[in-house]
Structure 1
Amino acid sequence: MASLSVAIAFGVRLLLVLLFLPFSALDKILNFKGAVGQAREAVHATAPATLLILVGLGVEIGMSLCILTGTADRAAAFVLAGYCGVTALLWKPFWRPGDFWSGGKGRELFWDFLKNFALAGGFLLITFGTGAGTVQDFLTDPLGSTHPYAAESGFPKG
């Protein structure tokens, strides 16, 4: 039963990071020039756009690996939650096209915007836990691990 629990814990974390590792990271690597071009839409200059893509690549790979391995996973999930929020604001500006009510690009961006924030919520569950009593764990030791693959359950016995 313990191996099933570990497999489920790993599978849930894999589902959370799957968008970033391998897909988004691999897309940035294989289509680096295109990724920089997309980043230029937000910053309008090649050097800062390149830096943004490199930082994004580091965040996507590094933080995803931390979440999968359980190493400083709270901090990594917090960073990825912020990353989701920032990318939603920079690259999913549904308010700009002005065609939200007519079903155009603004409406498509709106759903992507919400998906980013929903994903951020999933990462914040790793960061802060699922209840008010677990928030203090992160505040006390932000670089600590949730020990996702430990055999004992995280639920109080009662």
Structure 2
Amino acid sequence: MTAAALATLAVRYLLVMLFFPFSAADKMFNFDGAVAQARQIAPNTIAVVLIMAGVATEILMPLGILTGIADRAAAFVMAGYCMVTALLWKQFWKPGDFWRAGDSKARDLFWDFLKNFSLAGGFLMLVVGAHGTIGTFLADPFASSHPYSQEGAP
């Protein structure tokens, strides 16, 4: 593997490392706690399905991004996943203490909310590529971006 390919792999891993293995493992090893958190927005049976879907997403999509197999589609799913989880679980507008001096639950949630949307932006950069467009992705969403190819290398 070339130095450029290793750098590409490292950058991609930095983007997905929050999910694979850490968040996925946390959900698996603390399944009951994850389901309890999901019950904030859904009944028990649906909460279990949501957590199982989350674990699958947090394992399979990063693997696609890291291997380059349908990496743009995987990045698109991860961007949506980040935005949806921000909207469902990082609702900074609800606690009502955003502007209070000192500790604030709302501000803590706000930074997590922004982190999720920033990650979504990084994933969307993988979707369209450095010089691509959303049209390129829509024309063949399951195609690989061939992140480790020698094409264009000096």
**Normalising to structure 2: TM-score of the pair?**
0.94
Tell me, which stretches of 5 or more residues in structure 2 are unaligned?
Answer: none
Between the aligned partners of 1:140 and 1:95, the Cα distance in structure 2 is 38
For residue 152 of structure 1, report the CA deviation from its aligned partner.
1.8
Aligned length: 151
Q: Which residue of 1 aligns with 2:144?
A: 145
Instruction: Tell me how large the CA RMSD over aligned residues is.
Output: 1.3
Displacement of 1:153 after TM fit? 3.1
Letter aligned with residue 127 of structure 1: V
- TM-fit CA distance, 1:26: 0.3
Q: Distance in 1 between matches of 2:139 and 2:49?
A: 32
Map 1:91-106 to 2 at 5 A. Answer: 91-102=89-100, 103-106=103-106
Whether 2:76 is the aligned partner of 1:78: answer yes
Matched, 1:12 2:11: yes
Cα distance in 1, alignment partners of residues 91 and 55 from structure 2? 21
Aligned to 2:53: 55
CA distance in 1, matches of 2:3, 2:141: 28
Match of 1:36 in 2: 35
Q: Contact (CA 8 Å) 1:129, 1:135: kept in 2 or not?
A: no
In 1, the alpha carbon distance for the partners of 2:99 and 2:152 equals 47
Q: For residues 133 and 52 of structure 2, what CA distance do their matches in structure 1 show?
A: 33
Moved over 6 A (4+): none
User: Any idea what SS the aligned residue of 1:100 has?
Assistant: coil
Q: How far is the alpha carbon of 1:140 from its aligned partner? A: 0.9
Deviation at 1:139, TM superposition (A): 1.5
Return the alpha-carbon distance in structure 1 between the equivalents of residues 13 and 94 of structure 2: 33
Q: TM-score, normalised by structure 1?
A: 0.92
- AA partner of residue 112 (structure 1): D
Of all paired residues, the percent bearing the same amino acid is 58
Distance (Å, rounded) in 2 between the aligned partners of 1:16 and 1:42: 27
Cα distance, 1:101 vs. partner? 0.5
Alignment-derived partner of residue 68 in structure 1: 66
Cα distance in 1 between the residues matched to 2:136 and 2:148: 17
> Unmatched 5+ residue regions in structure 1?
none
2:113 match: 113
Once the 2 structures are TM-superposed, how far is the Cα of residue 114 of structure 1 from its aligned partner?
Answer: 0.3
